[in-house]
Amino acid sequence: MAMTVKGENLVVTKLKLERMLSMKGGKGETSYLKNSQAQARHARAMLHFLEATLSAMKLPLLEDGRFAVADLGCSCGTNTLFLMGIVVEHVSKMYAALGHDSPEFQVFFSDLPCNDFNVLFQLLPPQLSSSSLEQCLAAAEEQRSYYAAGVPGSFYGRLFPSRSINVFNSTFSLHWLSQESPLFGVALEQVPERVTDKRSPAYNRGRVFVHGASADTAAAYKQQFQADLTSFLRARAVEMTVGGVMFLVCLGRTPIDPADQGGADAWNDLVEEASTHSHRVHGLLESEKRDSFNIPVYAACLREFEEVVKAEGSFSINKLQAVKGGSPLVVNHPEDASEVGRALANSCRSVAGVLVEAHIGERLSEELFGRLELRAARHARELMEQMQFFHIVASLSSSLPSHPAS
Q: Rank residues 106 and 115 by Cβ distance to ligand SAH and give the closer one.
A: 115
Nearest residue relative to ligand SAH (C-beta): 73
CB of 268 to ligand SAH, least distance (A): 21
Minimum Å gap between C-beta 96 and ligand SAH is: 28
The residue ranges that bind ligand SAH (CB under 6 A) are 21-23, 36, 39, 43, 73-75, 77, 79-80, 111-112, 115, 154-156, 171-173, 176, 178
CB of 93 to ligand SAH, least distance (A): 23
The alpha carbon of residue 4 and the mean position of all alpha carbons in its chain are separated, in whole angstroms, by: 29
Give the residue with the Cβ less far from ligand SAH, 195 or 355: 355
Give the nearer residue to ligand SAH in terms of CB position, either 285 or 308. 308
Residue nearer to ligand SAH on the CB measure, 173 or 397: 173
Complex with ligand SAH: residue 111 or 269, whichever CB lies closer:
111
Measured distance CA(398)–CA(346) in Å, rounded: 39
Least separation, in Å, of the C-beta of 56 and ligand SAH?
22
Calpha distance 316→224 (Å, rounded): 23
Which residue, 368, 374, 214, is CA-closest to 289? Answer: 368
Cβ neighbours, 10 Å, residue 84: 24
Nearer to ligand SAH (CB atom), residue 17 or residue 380: 17
Q: How far is the CB of 233 from ligand SAH (least distance, A)?
A: 14
Close Cβ partners of 69 (under 8 Å, ≥ 6 residues apart): 84, 87, 88, 91, 105, 106, 107, 108, 146, 165, 166, 167, 168, 169
Q: Which among 121, 115, 223 is positioned nearest to 173, based on CA atoms? A: 115
Nearer to ligand SAH, 79 or 106 (CB): 79
Q: From residue 386, give the alpha-carbon distance in Å to each of 82, 100, 260, 379, 401.
A: 28, 49, 17, 11, 46
| Alpha-carbon gap, residue 201 to 302, rounded angstroms | 26
Q: Residue 250, exposed/middle/buried by CB under 10 A (0-12, 13-18, 19+)? A: buried
For residues 36 and 397, which CB has a smaller minimum distance to ligand SAH in the complex? 36
The least distance separating ligand SAH from the CB of residue 324, rounded to whole angstroms, comes to 17
Residue type at 147 in one-letter notation: Y
Please state the closest distance from residue 200 (CB atom) to ligand SAH, in A: 24
Q: Sheet harboring 104-111: ordered strands across?
A: 147-152, 104-111, 66-72, 165-171, 240-252, 389-398, 315-326
CB of 305 to ligand SAH, least distance (A): 16
